[in-house]
Amino acid sequence: MASSGSPSSPTAEGKLDVEFTVPAQVEVAGHLMAEFAQRHCSAGRRVVLVTSGGTKVPLESRTVRFLDNFSSGRRGSSSAEYFLDSGYAVIFLHRHRSQYPYSRCYAGVNLLDALLLQGGEGGSGQVVADTGALPDIAAVLRRYQAVKDAELLLPVEFNTLSEYLHLLKAAAQALNPIGSKAMFYLAAAVSDFYIPASEMPEHKIQSSNGPLQISMKMVPKMLSPLVKDWAPRAFVISFKLETNPSILLERARRALDTYRHQAVVANVLDTRRGFVVVVTPHTQVELALSEDEARQEVEIEEKIVANLTAAHTAFIED
Amino acid sequence: MASSGSPSSPTAEGKLDVEFTVPAQVEVAGHLMAEFAQRHCSAGRRVVLVTSGGTKVPLESRTVRFLDNFSSGRRGSSSAEYFLDSGYAVIFLHRHRSQYPYSRCYAGVNLLDALLLQGGEGGSGQVVADTGALPDIAAVLRRYQAVKDAELLLPVEFNTLSEYLHLLKAAAQALNPIGSKAMFYLAAAVSDFYIPASEMPEHKIQSSNGPLQISMKMVPKMLSPLVKDWAPRAFVISFKLETNPSILLERARRALDTYRHQAVVANVLDTRRGFVVVVTPHTQVELALSEDEARQEVEIEEKIVANLTAAHTAFIED
């Protein structure tokens, strides 16, 4: 553990250890991530941790109800593909069942609508893909298989906020040894609020008790110990999503001032698929899809990743 | 619309119309459900509405955050299969992306891990199912196709609580004309609490404003107008899930007393896959899987559906 002497991080890290139960899978995941980072760094590759999807915040300890964040995992999973295309090895820390690199192309498809019994009832009995329901399936499958065979993608799953926070810490500690070759691309939609285990009702909240009053505490910001203690030499990017465009850039700047990391990708809910601003301490770059690009289904993540991998190169050389 | 003269239902139905926005898809879905019910009833079939999955309750009007209920949709989707096996036509009102009849067998499988490029790189380029990753796929696909070809399963999707409530009302009105041949099997995990549109903040709640206080109102119970006004001759089953076994049966009895419907399937979170109690006004039947049955992967839903279809027969004849 990175026990810290810095003034502001003990609070966040201390809260993590006290108020969020360590999930069972953290130790094994930590070892896998450390081994993955070391192996790819030795082979001359940079390694990016992509976080993706929303976190689940239980309202009861035997959980029936929970608070969740809107997030399909689209941005994280598509970005992971562009990082792979750019030569990165990718640790994909994602919400269970959120969109996944490559298979995201078919996220809305019912598996059984995408398969055919060859030759019908009297046929060979072989089950084949329906290329009408799965456009480009052979090409996508080939790319997916190549990434899998080269072991360039390490998937790690979370469901709850606690799992996410502890796995993020484990990932940071796993990536710290490769220094500036590590990038953190924190695209997950992490809850800002939670109910401490000590204040949580054990049983399902009864509706017969009348209206529900929920009081939630603010989630400690892990960017602080991540940047200061866990992986201080890494290249760190956070995301800022707002519904109100007028406060967006000010919030992004404030986050950079507070956490002293390298960049914030700022975006507004309604326009997030076509427009973002990459904010760094001294620059502010708008990335947008042209109408032509939108028609051709170019993804904004291609531009985000191109911008950030270039910035990462400069950061490493610096 | 069933405008009601009964004493207790106007409150719930009135609230539905005032406080929950009518979603765009309700009118079309209503017509499809009415046509489906009429067609199958004319062909001598009973029709069951199976509701399945949890509802999403927005906390902001441009929604980033929402409250959700734990529910994979396993019980609803497996029950739908047993109703189909029993000769029912099924309207499957389910949460978007929750488990679906037949494809639920492969719910955890990444599509791209389940497909193979035949003959490898130099092969035919045909993509075939990996029967190792998709056990029994030919048989499952055959069953799914038969149900689809016979148009015995009508899927209707919801995401939010508002969508669920309005679609439930539309379903009830669509099934009302077939009288006692209709069954309502209300297995969805519907939120007990919501924030009225008028009290909802427009923009994303800012974490910088400090801890979050949420005040939620109780969701009006639609069982009341459903039983009294919308489909008064139908056979109606509700579900009661608790985490605390000691209050379960009392709550089930209280629900029957309040809503005057035909049965409650009562279950406890931890044991719900192997044990339920079917509670009716004058009976109480425990259904359980033996160790042998559990080993053979018999599903408790097979017993629940057998019990209720028999009760439905008696109800129709009565």
Mutate to test the interface with A, among B60, B61, B65 (most CBs of A within 10 A): B65
Torsion A190-A195-A201-A204 (CA) sign: negative
**pLDDT score, position B212:** 81
Mean pLDDT of B113-132: 82
In this predicted model, what pLDDT tens digit does every residue of B161-192 receive, in sequence order? Answer: 999 999 999 999 999 999 999 999 999 999 99
**pLDDT score, position A9:** 45
Structure tokens at B216: 């939620």
Using the predicted structure, report yes or no on whether residue B122 has a pLDDT greater than 70.
no
Report in angstroms the alpha-carbon separations of A92 from A29, A37, A78, A137, A176: 12, 12, 11, 22, 17
The total number of residues shown for chain B amounts to: 318
Structure tokens at A41: 């760094």
Q: Does B110 touch chain A (CB under 8 A)?
A: yes
Scanning every residue of chain A, which has its alpha carbon at the shortest distance from the alpha carbon of B159? Answer: A70
Mean pLDDT of chain B: 91
Which of A69, A138, A216 lies closest to B211 in CB terms? A216
SS (H, E, C) B7-47: CCHHHHHHHHHHHCCCCCCHHHHHHHHHHHHHHHHHCCCCE
Structure tokens at B211: 């801890």
**pLDDT score, position B120:** 58
In this predicted model, what pLDDT tens digit does every residue of B229-254 receive, in sequence order? Answer: 999 999 999 999 888 888 899 999 99
DSSP string, A206-237: PGGG-SEEEEEEEPP-THHHIIIIISTTSEEE
Residue that the structure tokens 């492969």 belong to: B106
Radius of gyration of chain A (CA): 21
Give chain A positions within 8 Å (CB) of B129: 115, 126-129
Which of B66, B102, B212 lies closest to A68 in CB terms? B66
Using the predicted structure, report yes or no on whether residue B202 has a pLDDT greater than 90.
no
Q: What is the mean pLDDT of each run of 10 residues along chain A (318 residues)?
A: 43 85 93 98 98 92 80 96 98 96 93 87 78 94 96 97 97 98 97 83 71 86 96 97 88 95 94 94 95 95 98 96
- Residue B45: pLDDT band (50, 70, 90) is very high
Assign A61 to helix, strand or coil: coil
Q: Does B102 touch chain A (CB under 8 A)?
A: yes
**pLDDT score, position B2:** 39
End-to-end CA distance of chain A: 28
Structure tokens at B164: 């669920």
Mean pLDDT of B282-311: 96
Cβ separation B70–A64 shorter than 8 A = yes
Q: Which residues pair with A89 in a beta bridge?
A: A47
Report in angstroms the alpha-carbon separations of A53 from A23, A225, B103, B203, B225: 18, 22, 23, 20, 38
Question: Regarding predicted confidence, which is higher, B52 or A17?
Answer: B52
Mean pLDDT of B34-57: 97
**pLDDT score, position B86:** 98
> What is this structure's pTM?
0.90
Give chain B positions within 8 Å (CB) of A109: 111
Using the predicted structure, report yes or no on whether residue B125 has a pLDDT greater than 80.
no
Separation CA A36–CA A42 (nearest Å) = 10
Q: How many Cβ atoms sit within 10 Å of the Cβ of residue B151?
A: 11
Separation CA A155–CA A147 (nearest Å) = 12
Mutate to test the interface with B, among A72, A81, A105, A127 (most CBs of B within 10 A): A127
Beta strands in A164-305 (DSSP E): 182-186, 193-194, 212-218, 235-242, 263-268, 275-279, 284-288
Which of A100, A111, A144 lies closest to B103 in CB terms? A111
Judging by beta carbons within 10 Å of its beta carbon (0-12, 13-18, 19+), is residue A71 exposed, middle or buried?
Answer: buried
- Contacts by A157-160, CB closer than 8 A, 24 or more apart: A157/A93, A157/A94, A157/A95, A157/A96, A158/A23, A158/A53, A158/A55, A158/A93, A158/A94, A158/A95, A158/A96, A159/A56, A159/A95, A159/A96, A160/A23, A160/A55, A160/A56, A160/A57, A160/A58, A160/A66
Residues 6 or more apart whose CB falls under 8 angstroms from that of B43 comprise: none
